[in-house]
Chains A and B, each alone.
Chain A
Amino acid sequence: MSNTALLESEKNLTETERKKRGDLMKRKPYVAKKLANISAMEARGQVSPIIRLEKSYLCNFQCTHCSAEYYMDRHLNKTKVTDDRTKMTLDDVRELSRQADELGLARFVITGGEPLVMRDFDEVVAAIDPDKHYIISDTNGWFLDDAKAKHLKSIGVEKIQLSLDSMIEEDHDAFRNKPGSYKRAMRALDAALNADLNIILSTVLVRGRANTKEFLDFCQFCTDKGVGLYVSYAKPTGSCTEHPEFVITKEDADILRELEKEYSVFSHMTPSYGSYKGCITVKGIITVTSTNEVTPCPYIDMSIGNLRQTPLKEILERGMRNPWLGPHRPDCLIGEDQQFIDLHTRITSQYKTLPVPWGEGFSDSNTLFDK
């Protein structure tokens, strides 16, 4: 990487971020250099998605808005569906890590389900390789105490994305269908900070919430704590399919954009470090499901390719030439574009197992006029 590219990438960082990068550079220089190279890659027209890894969907919660519900064994059992597709192995994870590294990709998020109930969590981290990639774990916080947080740091996890759905304890617990989950999340927040893990809180924005006192209190809490609040729009997929009333309006998104000026709050649409990607499908994120399918976003249940059949590079190219996914757009495709939402709902509803394979949902013959 050239010095100019390094300087370019540093230009838009905050002081805190610069410090964190400096620390990472000492501990994991290879990973730090890759992270610093992202803006240069984007300037060359290359994509640099975060890879969300869904190796397992096991979960100790049953949340009202879960986007992964239809992938879970409990759902397949309930609907009496047998899933005989080939499941991801640790070798698949190693191969994905290798291909991602070859493409200069630098970030993995282990997600699920609830990652911290995975029996092979440590092996997955090792298979990704913390010396090659920046590793993040999602969690609902239930199992994240001081000892667990220290252990995660020791095996190479750098960051935690802790989900919290309300600053009001009863509301959070009700939304999560799990009494005590708010208290556990708060304990997890402190545990992660104590273990010197980077942490952001993540929360789901449902219609009207951006304008509530509870949400403002949440923004204030995170700002005071020096922790970022990542806001994910409620999407009409997974469990949320039955809650179209959760889907946000443009006004909700705009209120959030205004709050970004004052608070440490952001969404996947927020410009970061000088990068203005807008909708991050393929460009900023992909999900790899437990059957090695690559989807262009955590909430779109249509595959752009299977890693057992097609190299990652080719899958990303496919995604970028798709008229829905590749072009720059400022809004959330699956959260705001009603035509795409309808198309997605119609196609995915015909399948018993998700995601819909490449060629049957997304394909090279897609047009913006698909209905």
Chain B
Amino acid sequence: MQLFNEYGRCQPQNIQSLVHAQSRRYFYCEQPDTNLDEVYNRTTQALGKCELSLDDFKKQAQELLTSLESRSELQGILGGVKVPFLIPKDENLDDVGTALEKKYLGAVEKAYQSFYPKYEFKSHFKDTLEGRVDVKEGSRHQTLLDKAKKQDVVGWYFPCLTEYSVPASLEQMQYLPEDALLAGGIDLCSVFIGNPALLMNKKGYSPLLWLSALQDKKHEDGAFHFEPYGYNLNFNHRHHYNQCAEYWWGGLTFIN
């Protein structure tokens, strides 16, 4: 079986956790405008300067996409939504919760507000994230964090784990190529900073996107997510109880 179908959905392999075998594609993301100049500018405005120049970023993003396109095992993934992102080098990533709380969520707010002055980004999570978040073993997300501590990271995000429970996303990783990383916190924040329109959908409903690679240390079945509320974007936490829903999606990132 192909790993990805024509719509870019990662097809569940032989996994035990809950996932929909088929999707009626009721919830959907519109492909946002992936203007790399704008992604770069928004990111550097919200997260600060990076060592990569605009040209370097564009070149690396394009090369990465071309290399993904050429791989037979990834055939189909580009049929879905794909979003470029940039994470400027950040040495303070030992505690992801702190990084999200002190820097990245605020940057998402700034970028969203600037792109949509009439609408708002809100974090509805009232507790502190400090010390609250772990990286899940098997998610390969630590690879992204380790790299981001040393250098600017260029990547593409694919919200392709559609209608997977959070544990199913993790389980699916064993069937995916080694360089496919389960999306977590700072990558998803960077995705929204560069592409604030990702979940904006005026005709239908966009999905909720889990930070599937991150474990809530306080609640085994708790996880964090972004979701739209009308024209607004929310960050929140919810208990997922290992269930799956049409509305609940995870995603993969590939980095340079």
Contact = CB atoms under 8 A, between A and B. Distances in A.
Q: Is B truly associated with A?
A: yes
Interface of A: 11-12, 43, 45, 250-251, 253-254, 257-258, 271, 274, 276, 278, 326-331, 337, 339, 368-369
A369 B22 contact: yes
B175 interface: no
Contacts of B232: 257
Given A327-B246, A330-B227, A369-B24, 18 more contacts: A253-B230, A254-B202, A257-B231, A274-B124, A276-B124, A276-B238, A278-B247, A327-B244, A327-B245, A327-B247, A328-B208, A328-B243, A328-B245, A328-B247, A328-B248, A329-B247, A330-B229, A368-B246
Contact of A368 (B24, B205, B239, B248): B24
A326 B244 CA distance: 10
A250 B201 CA distance: 9
B20 to A, nearest CB: 8
Interface of B: 20, 22, 24, 26, 124, 126, 201-205, 208, 221, 227-232, 236, 238-239, 241, 243-248
Contacts of A331: 205
B186 to A, nearest CB: 23
13 contacts: A45-B221, A250-B205, A257-B232, A274-B126, A276-B124, A276-B236, A327-B248, A329-B246, A329-B247, A330-B247, A337-B26, A339-B24, A369-B24
A112 B29 CA distance: 40
Contact of A258 (B202, B208, B231, B239): B231
A337 B239 CA distance: 25
Tell me the interface secondary structure of chain B in the complex: loop
B24 A254 contact: no
Contacts of B26: 337, 339
Contacts of B248: 327-328
A11 B126 contact: yes
Contact of A45 (B204, B231, B241, B247): B241
B118 to A, nearest CB: 8
A330 B124 contact: no
A267 to B, nearest CB: 11
Contacts of A329: 245-247
Contacts of A278: 247
Contacts of A12: 126
Given A276-B238, A339-B24, A251 B202 contact: yes
Nearest to A327: B245
A337 B205 CA distance: 10
A80 B24 CA distance: 40
A369 B247 CA distance: 15
Contacts of A254: 202, 230-231
A208 to B, nearest CB: 16
A330 B202 CA distance: 14
Contacts of B231: 254, 257-258
Closest 6 CB pairs of A and B: A257-B230, A327-B245, A254-B230, A45-B241, A329-B247, A328-B245
Nearest to B248: A328
A13 to B, nearest CB: 12
Contacts of B236: 276
A331 B28 CA distance: 13
Contacts of B228: 330
Contact of B203 (A43, A250, A257, A271): A250
A265 B227 CA distance: 21
A195 B204 CA distance: 44
A330 B248 CA distance: 10
A43 B239 contact: yes
A343 B245 CA distance: 20
B229 A257 contact: yes
A91 B208 CA distance: 44
A194 to B, nearest CB: 36
Contacts of B230: 253-254, 257-258
Nearest to B221: A45
A197 to B, nearest CB: 31
A271 B124 contact: yes
Contacts of A274: 124, 126
B127 to A, nearest CB: 10
Given A254-B202, A271-B124, A331-B205, A45 B239 contact: yes
Counting chain A CB atoms within 10 Å of each CB, the highest count among B124, B229, B232 belongs to: B229
Contacts of A369: 22, 24
B205 A327 contact: no
Contacts of A45: 221, 239, 241
Nearest to A261: B120
A251 B243 CA distance: 29
A45 B205 CA distance: 24
B126 A330 contact: no
A327 B18 CA distance: 12
Nearest to B201: A250
